A and B are shown apart, each in its own frame.
Chain A
Amino acid sequence: MALRAVRSVRAAVGSLCAISAPSAGCSPRPWGLRAGAVRALRTGPALLSVRKFTEKHEWVKTENSVGTVGISNFAQEALGDVVYCSLPEVGTKLNKQEEFGALESVKAASELYSPLSGKVTEINKALAENPGLVNKSCYEDG
């Protein structure tokens, strides 16, 4: 699910941020609210189109220096039905781990944190009319 597309800034050492898959022992309640520990990894081209997860339950998939970001299935289930998506404006510059928006359900609001540094090139406009796409299709249309 494309929450938005971000162009990742190529760092001097050519490394990508990342990413540990959410551990099984995640507490069920406040997803996306813990400080993520992000380690720099040197990666080769073969890993560039793999979906990678942050400790805050965002995922990012990069291709040709454009990253697409969404939230994990675990996160959308914990949140419940999403009723509103607060997304940044196209052109916004973001730093890694910076808060860039939020998803709202009836019971909770959950902030979104950028897994990468870069500039927002696109947001998923479908979510304005249909925020439930985050639940229905968190890896594709949401």
Chain B
Amino acid sequence: MQRAGSVVSRLGSRLQALPSAPCRSLSCAQTKIFGCDRVKLMESLVVGDIAELKPNQGTLSLFTNEAGGILDDLIVTSASEGHLYVVSNAGCREKDLTLMQDKVRELQNKGSDVALEVMDNALLALQGPTAAQVLQAGVADDLRKLPFMTSAVMEVFGVSGCRVTRCGYTGEDGVEISVPAAEAIRLAAALLKNPEVKLAGLAARDSLRLEAGLCLYGNDIDEHTTPVEGSLSWTLGKRRRAAMDFPGASVIVPQLKSKAQRRRVGLTCDGAPVRAQSPILSPEGTVIGAVTSGCPSPCLKKNVAMGYVPYEYSRPGTPLLVEVRRKQQPAVVSKMPFVPTNYYILK
């Protein structure tokens, strides 16, 4: 399969080996929200339809502020054990925890039944075309019944109490394993016993998520970008848009109809790799935006990037210029993902 071969060759060059299932420890914060009013709490902070999540189903969502800016991106899973399982960026740990704790207190003061627990777990990402096969050898559950964005608690290679979620940040099939901190190294060592599995570093991760068109909070989205500008309108729940009951709704929802803002787009180009902060110019040479992330794509053998341009330049196929070290080179607005994804979705 083309993607597998490319992942192999890229990680091969990073690691001088031929892995097909990279494994790395993630920089994420994990939290549980308990209580009958946990969904009400979550929905008061995020833009998604959390009430509609099926048991053990998760979704990407966004914390927003009253100005419509994105405070963080996160995954919320409705655990069948009776809590919401929240994974957010460790870089926003203090901010997110304060946000959630303040809301818990506010709702408790109004008599709501809600509580928060910070988890002392590590998160290991096992990603790649053979990730499920590698993991299956160490779990009793049939992983064919764990599709993309679903989650289950199971014993993994002898470590009990692990939550396995079929999701990731690479665009490939794979899982993220939440493991009690004290057992994290033992589990990582058990996974690495399989010669298919190799450790992958941040650069490898960054190149994968860029090829998959996934945002990096702090680079591609931040408190000064709205979900619509960030091309993340799909995270706005259908019910929530109508009810306008999430932070910043009065700013965000009107943007859905208007064409006034800038948009996050994908860019491809040849020549020198394009990286964050490179100016984006119109074909006439006027600066119209900036790159927020970029790297050479090992799979495509081209340079890929994300950046913001005014709405009128955002259609795929639009020719633009990017400036690298004072030289301008042609670029094209491209659809994302740049490399087709391979999520395990049951038809």
Contact = CB atoms under 8 A, between A and B. Distances in A.
B272 A107 contact: no
Interface string A51-81: 0000000000000000000000000000011
Contacts of A109: 272-273, 275
Nearest to A83: B296
B272 A104 contact: yes
Contact of A106 (B271, B272, B296, B325): B296
A106 B296 CA distance: 5
Interface residues of A, number: 12
B207 interface: yes
A86 B13 CA distance: 21
Contacts of A80: 13-14, 203
B298 interface: yes
B271 A84 contact: yes
B272 A102 contact: yes
B24 to A, nearest CB: 15
Interface in B252-276: 271-273, 275
Contacts of B236: none
A106 B207 contact: yes
Given A80-B203, A83-B296, A84-B296, A104 B14 contact: no
Contacts of A104: 272-273, 296
Contact of A102 (B10, B14, B325): B325
Interface string A81-111: 1011010000000000000001011111100
A109 to B, nearest CB: 7
Q: Is the interface on chain B under 10, 10 to 19, 20 to 34, or 35 or more residues?
A: 10 to 19
A105 B275 CA distance: 12
A107 B273 contact: no
Contacts of B298: 106
Nearest to A99: B325
Contacts of A108: 203
Nearest to B301: A83
B146 interface: no
B325 A86 contact: yes
B295 interface: yes
Contact of A86 (B14, B272, B275): B272
A110 to B, nearest CB: 12
Contacts of A102: 272, 325
Contacts of B207: 106-107
A112 to B, nearest CB: 11
Interface in B289-347: 295-296, 298, 325
User: Which of A81, A105, A107 has most B Cβ within 10 Å?
Assistant: A107
A81 B204 CA distance: 12
Nearest to A107: B203
B15 to A, nearest CB: 10
B304 to A, nearest CB: 11
Contact of A81 (B13, B202, B272): B13
B13 A84 contact: no
14 contacts: A83-B296, A84-B272, A84-B273, A84-B296, A86-B272, A86-B325, A102-B272, A105-B296, A106-B10, A106-B203, A106-B207, A106-B298, A107-B206, A109-B272
Interface of B: 10, 13-14, 202-203, 206-207, 271-273, 275, 295-296, 298, 325
Leading 5 A-B pairs by shortest Cβ distance: A107-B203, A83-B296, A81-B13, A104-B273, A106-B296
Given A83-B296, A107-B206, 4 more contacts: A104-B272, A104-B273, A106-B14, A107-B203
